[in-house]
């Protein structure tokens, strides 16, 4: 039976367990620079990192820079990124991102979250991933589906939306750990704390995990969208 503890105490235990399990955390996305990481992260929405990694080599072979991608034919770009899903909207976002980076930021990926979120397809989560992954900047803590699920299950937050969850986690973990906490939770979510079949009986966090499940989204009333 788990013992109820404060979120602060739980966070300390979580961090220690994650550090022990994953002493050298890293992203699952293959990228050589900030631009490639931004593109790969945009493509990873509603898609596995493994699949994105099969698409990006050809993408960057054809259009290696923001300036090159800015001139890409929309249909050709859609064809290349089709396996990642939602390729119509992703292609439009990537063209918009390439043009903004070329025209506004002189071809360089900015190092502030305020500038990054002005780029098409880049919301706060992607901005956090790029800042830490490319520049080692901990401006925030990226909240993806794994971080969201694990943080709620462990009682680190009572929130269910990414931005409030991020605020809670930023208070609980040391700033210098934010980027690595994201990487470690992603690995942990894939290998142990699965959405449907978590390996609770063999998990090192069992003794302090309340094993909560996030509330399910309410179904819309009949006849309403």
What domains, with CATH codes, occur in the chain? 5-23+140-200 (1.10.1670.10), 32-133 (1.10.340.30)
Residues annotated as catalytic are 125, 144
Task: Please state, as a whole number, how many other Cβ atoms lie within 10 Å of the Cβ of residue 195.
Answer: 13
In whole angstroms, what is the distance from residue 52 CA to residue 214 CA?
28
Alpha carbon distance 35, 13 (integer Å): 35
In eight-state DSSP terms, residue 123 is -
15 contacts 188 by C-beta, under 8 angstroms: no
Look at residues 31, 46, 16 and name the one whose alpha carbon lies nearest to residue 207.
16
pLDDT for res 111: 97
Residues counted in the chain: 225
Helix (H) / strand (E) element for 168: namely helix 162-172
Residue 68 neighbours by CB distance under 10 Å = 13
Q: Specify the pLDDT at position 5.
A: 79
Binding residues for [4Fe-4S] cluster: 193, 200, 203, 209
pLDDT given for residue 223 in this prediction: 47
Burial class (CB in 10 A: 0-12, 13-18, 19+), 190: middle
pLDDT score for 14: 98
Provide the pLDDT for residue 214. Answer: 76
- Nearest-10 crossing angle of helices 74-81, 49-62: 140
CA angle 112, 15, 161 (to 5 degrees): 55
Question: What rounded mean pLDDT belongs to the chain?
Answer: 93
pLDDT tens figures, 16-62: 999 999 999 998 999 999 999 999 999 999 999 999 999 999 999 99
Mean pLDDT by 10 residues, the chain (225 residues): 75 98 94 98 95 98 98 98 97 98 98 97 97 97 96 96 97 98 96 95 94 69 46
Long-range contacts of 80-87 (CB under 8 A, 24+ apart): 80/55, 81/43, 81/55, 83/51, 83/54, 83/55, 84/43, 84/44, 84/47, 84/51, 84/52, 84/55, 85/46, 85/47, 86/45, 86/46, 86/47
Report the C-alpha gap between 43 and 27 in whole angstroms.
14
């Amino acid at each position: 039976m788990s013992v109820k503890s404060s979120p602060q105490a739980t966070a300390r235990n979580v961090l220690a367990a994650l550090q022990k399990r994953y002493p050298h955390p890293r992203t699952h996305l293959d990228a050589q620079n900030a631009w490639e990481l931004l593109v790969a992260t945009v493509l990873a929405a509603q898609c596995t990192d493994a699949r994105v990694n099969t698409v990006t080599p050809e993408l960057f072979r054809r259009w290696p820079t923001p300036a090159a991608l800015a001139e890409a034919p929309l249909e050709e770009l859609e064809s290349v990124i089709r396996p990642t899903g939602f390729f119509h909207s992703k292609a439009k976002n990537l063209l918009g991102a390439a043009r903004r980076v070329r025209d506004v930021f002189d071809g360089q990926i900015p190092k502030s979250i305020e500038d990054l979120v002005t780029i098409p397809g880049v919301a706060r989560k992607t901005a956090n991933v790029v800042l830490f992954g490319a520049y080692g900047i901990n401006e925030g803590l990226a909240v993806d589906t794994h971080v969201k699920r694990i943080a709620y299950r462990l009682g680190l937050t009572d929130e269910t939306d990414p931005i409030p969850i991020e605020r809670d986690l930023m208070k609980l973990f040391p700033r210098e750990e934010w980027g690595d906490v994201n990487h470690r939770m992603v690995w942990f979510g894939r290998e142990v704390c699965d959405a449907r079949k978590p390996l609770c009986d063999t998990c090192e966090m069992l003794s302090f995990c309340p094993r909560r499940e996030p509330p399910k989204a309410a179904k819309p009333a009949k006849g309403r969208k």
